[in-house]
Structures are given as structure tokens and as C-alpha cells.
Amino acid sequence: MLEKIVFSKLLANAFDITTEVTYWDGSVEKYGDGEVVVRLKLNEKIRLRDLAGMPTLVLGEAYMNGDIEIEGSIQELIASAYRQAGSFLMDQSGFGSSLTKMLSGHDKKQSVKDVQSHYDIGNDFYKEWLDPSMTYSSAYWYRDDITLEEAQLAKVHHILDKLNIQPGKKLLDIGSGWGTLIIIAAQEYGVESYGVTLSEEQYEFVTKRVQALGLEDKVHVVLRDYRDIKQKYDYITSVGMFEHVGKDNLASYFKKIDDLLVPNGRALIHGITGQHYGKGVDPFIQKYVFPGGYIPNIAENITHIMDAGLQLDDVEPLRRHYQKTLEAWTENYHQVYDKTATEMGLPFARMWDLYLQASAASFEAGNIDVIQFLMTKGASGQALPMTRQYMTQREAK
């Protein structure tokens, strides 16, 4: 009885939308006024002691295991919790004892383990719900009526156009994924492009893709830690990478970018960044999705950029673009949800659905952002046009 009373008080102030909760004893409570937006069913009691320490992890695991069922949009439910001041779901105060380990720097062995735990689930899994370009980062929706694939290719062009690339130069992509950026850079921008990854699945995929296109003399990919790269480059790109290096390695990450650039070389770094102060980690995401991950705030990144001796040319927030991308991925994923549950197990299928929708909610509420940092090794704007118009000329066509 006491547990239910406490739960009722917690849930009464957890969301800013009207919810209906069916408790483990069959009783039903409505929280909020008006029409019910989302319904929750608590099939099992959840220990309050566990919930007090890491609410997102405990509730996430309960959803994975079927102890909690949700009728309605998970994204809408979680976004409402982010908006609701004082929601217990946003209190990770008991998370502090585990924080030090999660924020620690990664040695090379741990980096391999962390990356492969996520990206080496299997190319076939990602093919099911990503677009044909196999791009796993925020798309760029310069128009509402374009497809996910068109928006992903637009993102690649947006990045390469910002660099104002000149043919005959060399480009390095740190964390090169399934290779779309380095292939387009070589084919359409006339550079010799290099990719570096720690994912064996991605390395094998890109190698075969490059061979099939006959681009072996223009596109190169290596299975290696970026910290072991020695060659100098005119341009560097890194998309969705700095979130994986760990808090303690952020400074050396940006310093390495500076070291790898030729004088007056340019880099475009695209990644998830907070526009507020916070821990930068979530225990559920840490355990099940991105082990070793850390989301730096924008002040951290800019400080590291300055400390590395780089100068900013442009900073562009793309928060709404990632929300829309995640919503598109969720729609695709739901089409293969049953297949995923059969092949990977129901807890995994539920976990991935929660991850995609919770991430979309986090961007929707402004809890996290995705930002592109354009920078020069030297005086800012060196060899760049005087205005930003050159960055979007392609979109006007």
C-alpha cells in the first residue's frame, strides 16, 4: 500500500500531459485534466530504493522486460517529463556514485570494446531501418518534403560544402561509419579521402563498397584508432564521433585534429552537444546503447577548440533536424519491430524502440542538441568566402 501511495505522488507530478496509470493491483488513476494522452500499465511493483538511484535505468529495464507497458507515444511521454519542472524522472542524484567510471577516459582497448558493442550488432540490423546510404547521424532537412535518404545526402553535402573543398586535396573522416561521406567526397568533390573506424562490421562494409565502385585509388579506409593516424590532411570531418571519446579525452581529441591538419587546414565536427550544464550521461544509455559515451556541453567543446589552437569559422545548431531524423528512424524501425523481436529477442526490440523515441524526445525538449563546428588551423576564415551564402547555394537550386 505504501509503495502505491508513493508511486501515485511521484507520477502525479512526472508529466505535463494527461496520463492514466493502471497499477499492479488493478486499480486505475488518472493524472492531469482532459483527455488521456498516454496510458501506463505497471504489471509489477518497482522497488522504490532502486528507483530513487537511477530512475531512467530502472524504468527503462522495466519496460524492456514487460513490467511496464505504454499505450501511446513513448516520445511524447518522455518529452513531457523533460518539460515538467521537478519531475522525479529527471532526478539522477543517486547516479553520482557511478558517474566517475562512466566519465573516465578511454584507453584504446576500451574504445574498441565500446564502439564494437554498438556498431557491430550487425550491418543487417541497421540496414532494416536506416536509409539506403547507411548514414547513422542527424540528417539535414533543408525542405520538409524530401525523403530520409535525400536528407542524409544533403547533410553530407552540407558538411563538405561548408569546408569549401578544393579538388586534389586530402580529406580524413574520423569515425567514418559506412562510408557515404568519404565516397561522396571523392566522387563529387575531387579529393582523395581517408576513413578511420574501430568497427569491424563497418570496415568490411566500406571496403566492399569501395571495391564495387572501383574507387580503391581515391577512397581508403583503415581499421584503426584515430589517435594512431600520423598523416597530415587538408580537411577533416568527424560526424557523431566526439560523443564516444569520453570526457577526459575531449581535449586530446581536438588537439589531435589540430595535429592532423596542415597549416590553414579546415575541420567540420558534427556531434551531439548540450546547451546546458549537466552530467552528460544517462545510465540507461550507458548500459544498453553507448557504453563509454559522454555528451559535452557547447562550452566544453569551444574551450577545447580554443585550447587546441583552432579557430571557429561557424557554429550551427541542428536540434530539430535530429528530432525529425529520429522520428523517421522510429517509423522505419516499427515496420521491422516484429522481425527484430523474433531475431534479437523481445527485450532488445523494446530497448531499441525506447532508445530511439527517448532520444527524439530529448531533442524535442531541448535537453540535447546537435551542432556543427567549422574551424580552421590558423586565422578563422582563411580561404573561405566572406559570407555564409556559399554554404547553402546547393539548397537553392
CATH number of the domain within which 12 lies: 3.30.1050
Span 105-109, mean pLDDT?
Answer: 50
- Asked if residue 278 has pLDDT above 70, the reply is yes
pLDDT for position 112 = 42
Note whether 182 and 313 are same-domain residues: yes
Please count the other Cβ atoms lying within 10 Å of the Cβ belonging to residue 202.
Answer: 26
Note whether 308 and 173 are same-domain residues: yes
pLDDT for position 335 = 98
Task: Name the average pLDDT for the chain.
Answer: 89
Rounded distance, CA 336 to CA 72, Å? 19
Q: Which residue, among 49, 46, 79, has the nearest Cα to 64 in the 3D structure?
A: 46
Rounded distance, CA 92 to CA 128, Å? 34
Write out the chain in H/E/C secondary structure. CHHHHHHHHHHHCCCCCCEEEECCCCCEEEECCCCCCEEEEECCCCCHHHHHHCHHHHHHHHHHCCCEEEECCHHHHHHHHHHCCCCHHHCCHHHHHHHHHHHCCCCHHHHHHHHHHHHCCCHHHHHCCCCCCCCCCCCCCCCCCCCHHHHHHHHHHHHHHHCCCCCCCEEEEECCCCCHHHHHHHHHHCCEEEEEECCHHHHHHHHHHHHHHCCCCCEEEEECCHHHCCCCEEEEEEECCHHHCCHHHHHHHHHHHHHHEEEEEEEEEEEEEECCCCCCCCHHHHHHCCCCCCCCEHHHHHHHHHHCCCEEEEEEECHHHHHHHHHHHHHHHHHCHHHHHHHHCHHHHHHHHHHHHHHHHHHHCCCCEEEEEEEECCCCCCCCCCCHHHHHCHHHC
Rounded distance, CA 37 to CA 21, Å? 11
User: Grid cell 545510465 — which residue?
Assistant: 283
Note whether 8 and 118 are same-domain residues: no
Cα end-to-end span (Å), the chain: 65
Please give the angle made by the CA atoms of 360, 102 and 246, to the nearest 5 degrees. 75
How many domains, in total, are found in the chain? 2
- Asked if residue 122 has pLDDT above 90, the reply is no
- Asked if residue 115 has pLDDT above 70, the reply is no
Span 354-374, mean pLDDT?
Answer: 95
Note whether 266 and 219 are same-domain residues: yes
Least confident of 98-112, 172-186, 198-212: 98-112
Note whether 168 and 315 are same-domain residues: yes
The band of 99, judged by pLDDT with boundaries at 50, 70 and 90, is very low
Rounded distance, CA 248 to CA 197, Å? 20
Least confident of 93-107, 117-131, 158-172, 216-230: 93-107
* Residue 98 within a domain: no
Note whether 74 and 222 are same-domain residues: no
Look at 181 and 5; give whichever has higher pLDDT: 181
* Residue 103 within a domain: no
Note whether 132 and 263 are same-domain residues: yes
In the chain, the percentage of residues whose pLDDT exceeds 70 is 91
In terms of Cβ atoms closer than 10 Å to its own Cβ (0-12, 13-18, 19+), residue 200 is: middle
Contact between 350 and 173 under an 8 Å Cβ cutoff? The reply is no
- Asked if residue 119 has pLDDT above 80, the reply is no
Least confident of 37-46, 117-126, 141-150, 221-230: 117-126
- Asked if residue 152 has pLDDT above 70, the reply is yes
Each residue's pLDDT tens digit, 25-74: 999 999 999 999 999 999 998 887 777 778 889 999 999 999 999 999 99
Note whether 133 and 262 are same-domain residues: yes
Each residue's pLDDT tens digit, 241-267: 999 898 999 999 999 999 999 999 999
Q: Which domain holds residue 367?
A: 108-377
Of 68, 92, 116, the position where a domain reaches its end is 92
* Residue 391 within a domain: no
φ, ψ of residue 283 in degrees (nearest 5): -65, -35
Contacts of 316 (CB under 8 A, 6+ apart): 371, 372, 374
Strand ranges across the sheet with 68-71: 28-31, 19-22, 38-42, 68-71
pLDDT for position 154 = 97
CATH number at residue 359: 3.40.50.150
* Residue 382 within a domain: no
| Residue 28 CA from chain centroid, whole number | 37
Rounded distance, CA 60 to CA 49, Å? 16
The band of 282, judged by pLDDT with boundaries at 50, 70 and 90, is confident
In the chain, the percentage of residues whose pLDDT exceeds 90 is 73
* Residue 345 within a domain: yes
- Asked if residue 106 has pLDDT above 60, the reply is no
Note whether 72 and 194 are same-domain residues: no
pLDDT for position 396 = 81
Note whether 359 and 264 are same-domain residues: yes
Rounded distance, CA 117 to CA 115, Å? 5
Note whether 147 and 294 are same-domain residues: yes
Each residue's pLDDT tens digit, 300-352: 999 999 999 999 999 999 999 999 999 999 999 999 999 999 999 999 999 99
- Asked if residue 166 has pLDDT above 90, the reply is yes
* Residue 392 within a domain: no
pLDDT for position 397 = 73
* Residue 156 within a domain: yes
* Residue 327 within a domain: yes
Of 92, 122, 140, the position where a domain reaches its end is 92
Note whether 68 and 165 are same-domain residues: no
